[in-house]
Chain A
C-alpha cells in the first residue's frame, strides 16, 4: 500500500515552462519533506514544511503544505535543464518514521 501518492510520475517539459508536482495522502503527517535526487546520487533534502497551509520558497521552487497536513505541492517556475531529476516527497510521522512517495521524474529540455 502506497501511503503517499505522487503525480505525475513522469514529466517532460521545455525550458521556461512552469510545472506543479503533487503529493497526496489520506494520512496526516507531522511534517513533510521534499527531496531531489540526481542519477548516481542519493536524495538531497530541499525543504521541510511543518505547519498546515505553510508556503516556503526556494528561488524558483514553491512548496506548499495542505491545511490538513495530508498533502503537499511543489511548483517550479520557469524550469531550467538543471532542475532535471527525481523529486520525492516524504511524510514524517510523529514517531519520526519517513514515508516516501514513488517520486516524479522531471526532464527539462533546453
Chain B
C-alpha cells in the first residue's frame, strides 16, 4: 500500500460530460502529481502541485484542470469529455517534489468515455 488514495476506482461516463477525480496524498507528502496512462501514449505527466501551488505543467489539455487544497488533497477535473480521454489516471505524491523525492503512486482511476 503506497498510502496514496484515489477515488473513484472506475468511472464510466458519456462524451461531453464532466468528471472529478480525487487524490489524497501519503501522509506528510506536500507534492501531488497527476499522470494519464493509455495504451498508445504510455504514462504522460499532466500537472504537479506543491503545497497548494502549481509547480509544473505537462501535456495537460485546456479542458482539464486541477487544484490542491489546503488539506493537500487534490482534484483533477476533466470536462467536455471525448472518447480519447478514456485512460487510467494516476495520482502520485512525494515529500518535497524535487528531483530527489521518489514518487508514490495511487492505484489509479480508470475512466471510460462512451
Contact = CB atoms under 8 A, between A and B. Distances in A.
Interface residues of A, number: 24
B25 interface: no
A94 B99 contact: yes
Contact of A45 (B98, B102, B106): B102
A40 B56 contact: no
22 contacts: A31-B99, A31-B100, A40-B107, A41-B107, A41-B108, A42-B4, A44-B2, A45-B104, A93-B99, A94-B99, A95-B56, A96-B56, A96-B97, A96-B98, A96-B99, A97-B45, A97-B58, A99-B45, A100-B35, A100-B44, A100-B45, A103-B42
Given A42-B108, A45-B104, A100-B43, 8 more contacts: A30-B99, A41-B108, A42-B4, A42-B90, A42-B105, A42-B107, A43-B105, A103-B42
